Chains A and B, each alone.
Chain A
């Protein structure tokens, strides 16, 4: 064992920590009102006598001044869901910042089929509103911007993203979109994703789901000649995750009609209602589209997870079971059998150095759950986790949805009324088939959330603050902390390895089988790095002056 590991082991608390006490410690410094509020968002994962997990406060407004890591509705709508589509010109209607900061900063990899295909990913389009636009309104400028974008780029579609001031000054982006759509003859649509809507990125997801479903999904009825047609929902191809998933699905003979929305195109969205199954990767961001597609077109959805080798295998089997054809089931088993030996060889090797180590995960609305699986595979334990902006169903499972109260801050996020499409609705399975599949372990419309899979006594924290993070590090001394860029360097400066699970620190892919291997190796590199033993200079660890004044 290197001295580095010894050093870190030495500082790890030996006595078991009392999570209830830790919770009180996290709250102690806050003003009473804040402590009361945070107390609902911090809880110890512990089932009651009936085996029920406790319920958490989530998707509530951020405490001002607490130093949250959350972003806004625009980021959730443009930055996350619709940014990754390569052939739509996305115009940010607002001052320059919003467009600038969401320009190439999420690593949604894009690979157009040929040099001739449109790819606007590397561009940032903005109306760059000035003070006169705030005073006299920005609709005219927006119209001209759409015209100029059309003239210069001739795109298939143009979409408009509203930023904070747009809603306040009353620019009607939807009216502008309708007018310009009429004029230019291409699909043009707007999103009211002003940053102040909702309480986080989450509102933006919902707004994006509604918009893409209303304006694009179902516009192209061409049925592709392919077996086992699925949509991959909520996979954004960060660091090539989607490419690895595509590789595996392709090897299994499963066709992806559309991905929402890593490396996606306008046409894929338009055609997505022709698939026979929706598979949901990131539940938080895309469950709305999944539900709406089921209601309108009769496509069932299942939760899958391609993070972690075992989860990947399990998800492939779920898909195969759904289509229930021996040829597919056989092929899936072949692929798993072919891929697993290398994965297991690496995980066994890495486990020797990582087993027993402790992780914490505070990531967006999905990964804080999914990545626990990867850590488990190399023998590491997650002692505390939470989301920035997930809802109770992501923590506790979808069974709680009927109990969730929409509060005043989220009430204005539109819920669409979806009805069966009179022509295009086509149930993919009979109710009997659905029931039988559910019995065989292919539950539809089901996601159990993060908490049931976490150990008793682990600490669940929603919308963790900078202060809470610092205290957690001091108390638990985790071997690795996973979050985002804003947290990264403060944690690293505390002498604790910090893995970004949004950007992957420029690494990846981490999904699928190859991704699992990448991740094991990355965590091994990080938690066993030499660098941590150099934090003190020699003269700091031995400050006493030696009595020798001559060279030995």
Chain B
């Protein structure tokens, strides 16, 4: 047994986290910053964080993930990291020539209280920031929130630093896609464009973290939202923020800054959340939904009706990020599955309330915990077994020990490909989620069926 010490006796823990269902802020900020064209993320802290964050993103995407670091030493940890950051800015612009350096912080620089704004201003005064180039910054203390919070903070910084209002509407809509895969960002763009709406999608990691093999390495790939588009977000008709934790702050900042009206929606995962997204787009932009989108919705519905017998009342355990889990649980409930154990490591009271609302009519008890971990989830599963586990790669240890069909979902996925190429958002993404679920559950049926009931047609 790989998790041989996980037993059924649940003792309350206040201080010890075991097998977390979250990670820390800066990795989210680094991911967001990679969604800006010609931008180099910079980690203002000791270099270990930067190495870890790059490694994890690289393992997840199997793509180069570039970022620089201030490489704090003990001296700078005591006297402040100003000299390190100014030197870093100079070296980065000289050697790597990005248009933008997006600085995030770590628990080190946050604890000592470095003022990155002031340092960046000094760098500017000292002539270390070439004309037309920018240093932007988000404060991302690792001891607050989770990687999702870091993503949110850097996305908000894009608004703070770049959004301008010329008074001349650009006729576009800002879409903040949330902490989702590059493939999901493409899919969201595709849906928005199919509605006849011109999007400014930020951040946008499509074509950055799912780029092609060409035999030529480009440090700054083709994708990413451009500076000009970011500037123009203040002239947009409105903003739709997908996923409240990851995207709402940026949308509200834009509303506050330039009165760009915003709506915060769930991530368009599954049927109902995608319905709400499409309907919101339709209403705010005053457009009608094209047949293409309605047909896709029908196709998703078709798969649900076709395969309903395999979903009905199957118990599911889930771990992941709140923005992902809320629409996903809603989706599972809508196809008559029973999400019974749900944990997220990301703090925020709204989560438990929302999950309880979505599951209160289910014919079984539901465990939900904010600030929970995978150790707790596993204990719940041992006490009340499930038919399916949905989690990031770390779920595979539970799945193997307790022989549970396992669908990989969320961040990080370190042991399979596909997630960065094929979306799980929108109606088409919904079909992919169902395919993933069915594949693992039906493989299990095939494996376990007695010979006489091993079915050709299922």
Smallest CB gap from A104: residue in B: B394
Q: Is B442 an interface residue (CB 8 A)?
A: no
Q: Is A120 an interface residue (CB 8 A)?
A: yes
Do the beta carbons of A196 and B217 come within 8 Å of each other?
A: no
Return chain B residues, CB-CB under 8 Å to A102.
52
One of B71-79, B161-169, B189-197, B254-262 at the interface? B71-79
Do the beta carbons of A31 and B91 come within 8 Å of each other?
A: yes
The answer to whether residues A196 and B46 also contact, given A63-B91, A123-B3 and a CB cut-off of 8 A, is yes
Q: Is B111 an interface residue (CB 8 A)?
A: yes
Q: Is B89 an interface residue (CB 8 A)?
A: yes
Contact with B along A469-504 (1 / 0, CB 8 A): 010000000000000111011111111000000000
Contact of A130 among B89, B144, B211 (CB under 8 A): B144
Contact of A486 among B27, B65, B89 (CB under 8 A): B65
Q: Is A145 an interface residue (CB 8 A)?
A: yes
Do the beta carbons of B68 and A66 come within 8 Å of each other?
A: yes
State which residues 174-215 of B face A: CB under 8 Å: 211, 213-215
Q: Is A127 an interface residue (CB 8 A)?
A: yes
In angstroms, how far is the closest chain B Cβ from the Cβ of A525? Answer: 17
Q: Is A152 an interface residue (CB 8 A)?
A: yes
State which residues 46-83 of A face B: CB under 8 Å: 61-75
Return chain A residues, CB-CB under 8 Å to B27.
97
The answer to whether residues A196 and B76 also contact, given A65-B68, A97-B49, A495-B215 and a CB cut-off of 8 A, is yes
A127 CA to B14 CA in the complex, in Å?
9
Contact with A along B323-345 (1 / 0, CB 8 A): 00000000000000000000001
A494 CA to B52 CA in the complex, in Å?
23
One of B92-100, B284-292, B357-365, B419-427 at the interface? B92-100
Do the beta carbons of A149 and B16 come within 8 Å of each other?
A: yes
Return chain A residues, CB-CB under 8 Å to B45.
164, 195
State which residues 164-222 of A face B: CB under 8 Å: 164-165, 167-169, 194-200
Do the beta carbons of B77 and A196 come within 8 Å of each other?
A: yes
Q: Is B272 an interface residue (CB 8 A)?
A: no
Contact of B51 among A69, A126, A133 (CB under 8 A): A69
What is the total number of residues of chain B having a CB less than 8 Å from a CB of chain A?
82
Smallest CB gap from A92: residue in B: B17
A98 CA to B23 CA in the complex, in Å?
9
Q: Is B19 an interface residue (CB 8 A)?
A: yes
One of B55-63, B151-159, B444-452 at the interface? B55-63
Q: Is A99 an interface residue (CB 8 A)?
A: yes
Return chain A residues, CB-CB under 8 Å to B20.
96, 99-100, 124, 126, 128
A217 CA to B347 CA in the complex, in Å?
41
A465 CA to B47 CA in the complex, in Å?
13
Return chain A residues, CB-CB under 8 Å to B125.
none
One of B80-88, B230-238, B382-390 at the interface? B80-88
A67 CA to B40 CA in the complex, in Å?
10
Contact with A along B405-446 (1 / 0, CB 8 A): 000000000000000000000000000000000000000000
A129 CA to B62 CA in the complex, in Å?
30
Q: Is B297 an interface residue (CB 8 A)?
A: no
Do the beta carbons of A123 and B23 come within 8 Å of each other?
A: no
Do the beta carbons of B84 and A29 come within 8 Å of each other?
A: no
Return chain B residues, CB-CB under 8 Å to A131.
141, 143-144
Q: Is A412 an interface residue (CB 8 A)?
A: yes
A254 CA to B72 CA in the complex, in Å?
45
Contact-size category for A: 35 or more
In angstroms, how far is the closest chain A Cβ from the Cβ of B169? Answer: 39
Q: Is B246 an interface residue (CB 8 A)?
A: no
Return chain B residues, CB-CB under 8 Å to A485.
55, 58-59
State which residues 1-44 of A face B: CB under 8 Å: 29-31, 34
Q: Is B296 an interface residue (CB 8 A)?
A: no
Do the beta carbons of A466 and B71 come within 8 Å of each other?
A: no
A131 CA to B107 CA in the complex, in Å?
10
In angstroms, how far is the closest chain A Cβ from the Cβ of B437? Answer: 25
Do the beta carbons of B24 and A71 come within 8 Å of each other?
A: no
Q: Is A240 an interface residue (CB 8 A)?
A: no
Tell which of A100, A101, A104, A163 has the most Cβ of chain B within 10 Å: A100
Do the beta carbons of A97 and B52 come within 8 Å of each other?
A: yes
State which residues 139-179 of A face B: CB under 8 Å: 141-145, 147-149, 151-153, 163-165, 167-169
Q: Is B42 an interface residue (CB 8 A)?
A: yes
Contact of A63 among B2, B64, B87 (CB under 8 A): B87
Smallest CB gap from A31: residue in B: B94
Contact of A165 among B56, B63, B111 (CB under 8 A): B111
The answer to whether residues A535 and B143 also contact, given A64-B91, A124-B18 and a CB cut-off of 8 A, is no
Return chain B residues, CB-CB under 8 Å to A126.
16-18, 20
Q: Is A425 an interface residue (CB 8 A)?
A: no
Tell which of B15, B90, B108, B211 has the most Cβ of chain A within 10 Å: B15
Return chain A residues, CB-CB under 8 Å to B16.
91, 125-127, 144-145, 148-149, 152
A169 CA to B143 CA in the complex, in Å?
13
Tell which of A91, A97, A466, A494 has the most Cβ of chain B within 10 Å: A97
Contact of B47 among A71, A142, A145, A484 (CB under 8 A): A71
Contact of A64 among B18, B64, B87, B143 (CB under 8 A): B87
A198 CA to B76 CA in the complex, in Å?
12
Q: Is B283 an interface residue (CB 8 A)?
A: no
Do the beta carbons of A142 and B73 come within 8 Å of each other?
A: no
Contact of B74 among A70, A119, A409 (CB under 8 A): A409
Do the beta carbons of A61 and B73 come within 8 Å of each other?
A: yes
In angstroms, how far is the closest chain A Cβ from the Cβ of B221? Answer: 9
Return chain B residues, CB-CB under 8 Å to A74.
48
Q: Is B349 an interface residue (CB 8 A)?
A: no
Q: Is B22 an interface residue (CB 8 A)?
A: yes
The answer to whether residues A64 and B70 also contact, given A101-B23, A144-B16, A486-B65 and a CB cut-off of 8 A, is yes
In angstroms, how far is the closest chain B Cβ from the Cβ of A169? Answer: 7
Smallest CB gap from A151: residue in B: B11
Return chain A residues, CB-CB under 8 Å to B1.
115
A518 CA to B100 CA in the complex, in Å?
44
Do the beta carbons of A466 and B48 come within 8 Å of each other?
A: no
Q: Is A536 an interface residue (CB 8 A)?
A: yes
Return chain A residues, CB-CB under 8 Å to B49.
72, 97, 195
A30 CA to B94 CA in the complex, in Å?
7
Q: List 16 A-B contacts (CB under 8 A).
A: A65-B70, A65-B87, A95-B142, A97-B27, A97-B142, A99-B20, A127-B16, A129-B107, A141-B15, A144-B14, A151-B11, A152-B13, A489-B58, A489-B64, A490-B219, A535-B214
Residues of A within 8 A of B (CB): 29-31, 34, 61-75, 91, 94-105, 115, 118-120, 122-131, 133-134, 141-145, 147-149, 151-153, 163-165, 167-169, 194-200, 408-409, 412, 465-467, 470, 484-486, 488-495, 532, 535-536
Apart from A164-B108, A466-B96, list 8 A-B contacts with CB within 8 A: A64-B69, A68-B71, A96-B146, A124-B17, A125-B18, A134-B143, A168-B111, A195-B45
Shortest 6 CB-CB contacts between residues of A and residues of B: A72-B48, A65-B88, A97-B24, A535-B215, A144-B15, A101-B52
Residues of B within 8 A of A (CB): 1-5, 11, 13-20, 22-24, 26-27, 42, 45-49, 51-56, 58-59, 62-77, 84-85, 87-92, 94-96, 106-108, 111-112, 141-144, 146, 211, 213-219, 345, 375, 394, 397
